[in-house]
Structure 1
Amino acid sequence: MLAYARLKAEGLTVTFMEGDARTFESDKRFSMIYLTGNAFQAFLSDQDQSDLLTTVHKHLQPHGIFAFETRNPEGTDLSDQEETGWGSFIDKDGQNVKVSGTQCYDASQHIMHWVTIRDWGDKRTTSRIACRFTDQATLQSLLIRHGFRVEHQYADWDKKPFSPSSSSIISVCRKC
């Protein structure tokens, strides 16, 4: 991801830092920290989420902003699904690739396990991902416990009002 980011940022004044968000250390303090691409869901345990929020809080300037998105479990189909077609795309070589996958939700851990299958006809690849789902009430409590004031929660990045059936929770928080 960093190689792609460097390519896209060519000619811009950008500093990229690689590290684990749970243990990242820097003397720099930032006015804003944000996560996109549902990255919050990659923190699969209570401890992972706590460590992330501690790191973010530590690296924000006083009254700094933390913004991120996460899928809303109440607005998402968490049912187990056998292999289902998810669509297709044309790859860089002009070849049609069929995409399908499965999903299996571990309710005790709040973790969805997705398997994605890409089929070129003559070859198939499989990738796996696990994402943790945190409901809105738990998320708000977690943020408050880690020194944040939730200023806004939206259903999307266009600031559509959040509702229990929204598929996403966009949280905009301020360091207390």
Structure 2
Amino acid sequence: MIYLTGNAFQAFLSDADQNLLLKTIYKHLKPNGVFAFETRNPMGTDLSNEDETNWGQFIDKDGILVQVSGTQFYDAENHIMHWVTFRAWGFKRTTSRIACRFTDNDTLRSLLNSNGFNIENQYSDWNKTPFSPLAPNIISVCRKSE
């Protein structure tokens, strides 16, 4: 069995990357092996563009208040959300960036099937809530076909 969690599937930003990932997983699974993973559902996610917005604050390990804000920009052509996170300590400000690809369920199902996987179940969360088209997540449980 192979698990891929933390929305790690979304770090594979192109069709080629996703296909190579699935081919590698297929190669490492035993016959009838199971592959389970999650990805955010584009139909259940706010993909709007946002200018810098306050996201909250926290106290760091040194007891300093850190303000957190960020932006998001969705590249609809490539299905990639770009998030930029800013953390401000008052005396310094850091910036971090992340890009995540959003794959719709029809494309995901086709991708899995074309790479040798049979989808046994899909859920909206890890509690096995039945999948619905507007759920925020797509949890797929697949079996290696022979």
Fold agreement, TM-score > 0.5: yes
SS in 1 for 2:32: strand
Residue in 1 aligned with 2:20?
Answer: 51
Q: Which residue of 1 aligns with 2:110?
A: 141
Q: How does 1:12-161 map to 2 (within 5 A)?
A: 32-161=1-130
Structure 1 portions without partners, runs of 5+ = 1-31
Partner of 2:130, secondary structure, is coil
Instruction: Count the aligned residue pairs.
Output: 145
The residue type paired with residue 157 of structure 1 is W
Equivalent residue letter for 1:73: P
Give, in whole Å, the separation in 2 of the partners of 1:36 and 1:90.
27
| CA offsets 1:38-70 (integer angstroms, 9 cap, x no match) | 000000000000000000000000000101110
Partner AA of 1:104 in structure 2:
F
Name the SS of the counterpart of 2:125 in structure 1: coil
Cα distance, 1:98 vs. partner? 1.2
Across the aligned residues of Structure 1 and Structure 2, the Cα RMSD in angstroms comes to 0.7
Secondary structure of the corresponding residue to residue 44 of structure 1: coil
CA deviation after TM superposition for structure 1 residue 95, in Å: 1.4
Tell me the SS of whatever aligns to 2:84. strand
Structure 1, residues 56-85: CA drift from partner, whole Å, max 9, x if none?
Answer: 000000000101110000000001000011
Secondary structure of the structure 2 residue equivalent to 1:134:
coil
By relative contact order (CA 8 Å, sep 6+), the higher-ranking structure is 2
**Partners in 2 of 1:99 and 1:160 — Cα distance?**
32
Q: 2 CA distance for matches of 1:61 and 1:76?
A: 34
TM norm structure 1: 0.81
| Alpha-carbon offset, residue 96 of structure 1 | 1.5
% same residue: 72
* Unmatched tracts of structure 2, length 5 or more: none
Q: Which amino acid aligns with 1:171?
A: S
